[in-house]
Chain A
Amino acid sequence: SQQGEEDPQALSIQEGENATMNCSYKTSINNLQWYRQNSGRGLVHLILIRSNEREKHSGRLRVTLDTSKKSSSLLITASRAADTASYFCATESHTGGFKTIFGAGTRLFVKA
Chain B
Amino acid sequence: GAVVSQHPSWVICKSGTSVKIECRSLDFQATTMFWYRQFPKQSLMLMATSNEGSKATYEQGVEKDKFLINHASLTLSTLTVTSAHPEDSSFYICSARDPDRSYEQYFGPGTRLTVT
Determine the distance from Cα of A98 to Cα of B34 in the docked complex, in whole angstroms.
10
* Partner-binding segment picked from A14-22, A39-47, A60-68: A39-47
Q: Are B34 and A100 interface neighbours, CB within 8 A? A: yes
A/B pair count, beta carbons within 8 Å:
48
Contact A104 B34 (CB under 8 A): no
> Which residues does chain A contribute within 8 Å of B105, judged by CB atoms?
92, 100
Task: Please give the residue numbers on chain B whose beta carbons come within 8 Å of chain A beta carbons, in ascending order.
Answer: 32, 34, 36, 41-46, 49, 57, 59-60, 91, 93, 95, 97, 103, 105, 107-110, 112
Q: Closest approach, in angstroms, between the C-beta of B9 and any C-beta of chain A?
A: 10
Q: Size class of A's contact patch? A: 20 to 34
Q: Which residues of B contact A105 (CB under 8 A)?
A: 42-43
Known contacts A40-B91, A40-B112, A100-B34: A2-B45 contact under CB 8 Å: yes
List the interface of chain A (C-beta within 8 A of B): 1-2, 35, 40-43, 45, 88, 90, 92, 97-105, 107
Q: Which residues of B contact A101 (CB under 8 A)?
A: 46
Q: Is the CB of A43 within 8 A of B49?
A: no
